[in-house]
């Protein structure tokens, strides 16, 4: 009988543990049958795609995190994650944090120093919060933090801790740095993202 090949190859991702660690593979298979359509053989190949998956993860991470302060989220991701939380949370707090007179740091010490300072500043903020909290750079010297399932008392305590730690950062020619923090509290009647940002800003 004349052999027929099913050209619609199936692709199947799967994971195999090697020495206790998961590794990603991709299998591509197609069937071979006779003229009546009866399949009597399946042929295919298996590819190790661990490096490819790692590159995709890296690309995805770059899209989510700030290009300068690489351990915190960028503006788009920060907004998206906060809006997502607000859809189902009944409590929480939004902190808007900025550096007082950051322009003078750039003007007197240069933008390269300013960039390094922003990295240190973001690391200081990140160190105050839990992994589950949303910490992001909103733009320039402005940062947002969203605390899910936290009330005013915890938000105020975290805010005070940030102010204390930031003041320990000393900048040449300028001295100690100061920061300002605005806080808005989420409740069942106050879950609109724009309104919370406006409240924290004011």
The candidate with the shortest Cα–Cα distance to 99, out of 151, 137, 150, 146, is 137
Model pLDDT for residues 72-119, shown as the tens digit of each residue = 999 999 999 999 999 888 889 999 999 998 998 999 999 999 999 999
Residue 88 main-chain phi, psi, to 5 deg: -130, -10
Question: 22 falls in which pLDDT band (50, 70, 90)?
Answer: confident
Cα→Cα distances 165→5, 93, 160, Å: 68, 20, 9
User: How far is it, in rounded angstroms, from Cα 130 to Cα 107?
Assistant: 34
pTM, to two decimals: 0.70
pLDDT band at 65; cut points 50, 70, 90:
confident
Collect all residues with Cβ–Cβ distance below 8 Å to 36 and sequence separation of at least 6.
1
User: What does the alpha-carbon distance between residue 26 and residue 6 come to, in Å, rounded to a whole number?
Assistant: 19
- State the average pLDDT for the chain: 85
Q: What's the alpha-carbon Rg for the chain, to the nearest Å?
A: 26
Residue 10: pLDDT over 80: no
Q: Which long-range contacts (CB under 8 A, 24 or more apart) does 58-66 make?
A: 66/122, 66/136, 66/137
| Residue 2 binned pLDDT confidence (cut-offs 50, 70, 90) | very low
């Amino acid at each position: 009988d004349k052999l027929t090949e099913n050209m619609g190859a199936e692709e199947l991702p799967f994971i195999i543990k090697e020495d206790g660690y998961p590794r990603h593979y991709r299998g591509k298979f197609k069937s071979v049958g006779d003229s009546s359509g009866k399949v009597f053989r399946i042929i295919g190949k298996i590819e190790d795609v661990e490096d490819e998956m790692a590159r995709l993860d890296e690309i995805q991470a770059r899209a989510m995190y700030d290009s300068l302060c690489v351990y915190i989220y960028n503006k788009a991701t920060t907004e998206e994650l906060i809006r997502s939380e607000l859809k189902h949370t009944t409590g929480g707090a939004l902190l808007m944090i900025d550096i007082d007179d950051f322009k003078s740091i750039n003007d007197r010490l240069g933008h390269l120093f300013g960039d390094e300072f922003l990295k240190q500043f973001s690391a200081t903020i990140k160190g105050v919060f839990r992994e589950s909290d949303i910490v992001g750079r909103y733009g320039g010297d402005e940062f947002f933090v969203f605390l899910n399932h936290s009330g005013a008392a915890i938000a105020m305590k975290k805010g005070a801790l940030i102010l204390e730690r930031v003041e320990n950062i000393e900048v040449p020619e300028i001295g100690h740095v100061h920061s300002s923090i605005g806080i808005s509290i989420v409740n069942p009647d106050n879950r609109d993202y724009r309104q919370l940002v406006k409240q924290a800003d004011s």
